[in-house]
Amino acid sequence: MSWWGKVLGGAFGFAAGGPLGALLGVAVGHHFDRGLEAGPAPLEHARAPTMEELQTAFFTAVFSVMGHLCKADGHVSPAEIAMAESLMDRMNLGPEQRRAAIGLFNQGKAPDFPFDAVLAQFEREVGRQRDVARFFLEILFQAGYADGELGAAERAVLYEVGRQLGFGTLELAAIELRARPAPRGRQAPPQQSLDAAYATLGVPRTATNDEVKRAYRRLLSQHHPDKLVGAGVPEEMIALANEKTHEIKEAYRRVMEARGA
């Protein structure tokens, strides 16, 4: 049974207690088999989450934290709403999944959203799956830039998310740089296009060809769809990983072409 089938069947036991389970329970309109009042399993009895449980936790955390992020500056802009809807479209969510995603997003906007508790539980469940945590952050940074710029309040939320997931300031700055949208207009000037390609690869113009190649291979490995699915990213979100892989390949082609390599 797929992760979503287990959610609808009420069989999502691992995170049914705690903030993720509570949020998802409200979003889908029913309780799970362990009961929302049970709380997370005691540490001495903790077990590794199943693949379906990891996928459900990722889905729940992404959309709820996204709602919290978009409300960080006091209001949710039309561009941010459109971004969330576009994300759901790109994931090809079914009607029930879409309703759940909207419900989670709206709960994230609420003043009493348990931000710290949600991140703490998500961090416990993701564990050492650093590529999954990084992909989670990349989605949120893209959401933060939905209206073309990242405000101070939104940046503060994103960097707090990153710190709680174990990322340092320099690494978060690199993730942010890669998430910035390309210059608007019918066609970006060649200089800006090349700058964006270097930013996507996370290397300076002074990098050697070997350094560019290593960065390219590292990013491809981090965003490999099969690797992310195997680590707990929902299948529906692999379309986003495919888009990122294409972006990385295009950036590498642009850089190496400019270098005549």
- Give the single-character DSSP code of 102: H
Looking at the predicted structure, is the pLDDT value of residue 15 above 80?
no
Domain ranges of the chain: 53-181, 182-261
Confidence at 116, pLDDT banded by 50, 70, 90: very high
Q: Could you tell me which residues come within 8 angstroms of residue 195 by beta carbon, excluding any fewer than 6 positions away? A: none
pLDDT of residue 45: 44
Looking at the predicted structure, is the pLDDT value of residue 38 above 80?
no
Looking at the predicted structure, is the pLDDT value of residue 86 above 50?
yes
In the predicted model, what is the mean pLDDT of the chain? 84
pLDDT of residue 34: 45
Looking at the predicted structure, is the pLDDT value of residue 36 above 50?
no
pLDDT of residue 255: 95
Same-fold call for 53-181 versus 182-261: no
CATH, range 53-181: 1.10.3680
Confidence at 234, pLDDT banded by 50, 70, 90: confident
pLDDT of residue 30: 61
Average pLDDT of the segment spanning 53-67: 91
CATH, range 182-261: 1.10.287.110
Q: Model-level pTM? A: 0.84
Rounded to whole angstroms, how far apart are CA atoms 114 and 129? 23
Task: Give per-residue pLDDT as tens, 173-193.
Answer: 989 988 887 655 445 555 668
Rounded to whole angstroms, how far apart are CA atoms 82 and 69? 15
Least confident window among 24-33, 132-141, 204-213: 24-33
Average pLDDT of the segment spanning 85-107: 91
Average pLDDT of the segment spanning 109-138: 91
Looking at the predicted structure, is the pLDDT value of residue 105 above 90?
yes
Helix, strand, coil % over all residues of the chain, rounded to 5: 70, 0, 30
The half-sphere exposure of 27 on its side-chain side, counting CA atoms within 13 A, is 30
Average pLDDT of the segment spanning 101-106: 95
Counting DSSP H helices and E strands in the chain, the numbers are 13, 0
Give whole-number Cα distances, 124 to 31, 130, 256, in Å: 22, 12, 40
pLDDT of residue 183: 58
What are the two backbone dihedrals, phi and then psi, of residue 112, each rounded to the nearest 5 degrees? -95, 20
